[in-house]
Amino acid sequence: MQTTLYLARHGETQWNKLHRFQGQLDSKLTELGEQQSLQLGVTLSENDIDCIISSPLGRAVATAKICQQELNVETEIEVNLSERDLGQWQGKSVEALSSNAIYSEVLQQFTDIAPAGGESAQACGKRIYQALETIAHNAINKRVLVIFHGEALRCFLLSLGQQHTENAYQLFGNGSVFKLRYQHKKAEFQAVL
Active site residue 10: yes
**Annotated catalytic residue, options 12, 78, 83, 151:** 83
**Annotated catalytic residue, options 10, 12, 149, 151:** 10
3-class DSSP state of 185: coil
Give every strand in the sheet of 75-77, ordered side by side: 75-77, 51-54, 143-148, 2-9, 177-183, 188-191
Strand partners, 182: 3, 189
Q: ∠ CA(89), CA(95), CA(97), 5° rounding?
A: 35
> 186: which residues sit within 8 A by CB, 6+ positions away?
none
Task: List, as own/partner pairs, every contact residues 162-168 make where C-beta atoms lie below 8 angstroms and the sequence separation is at least 24, other chains included.
Answer: 162/191, 165/108, 165/109, 166/108, 167/107, 167/108, 168/107
Residues annotated as catalytic are: 10, 83
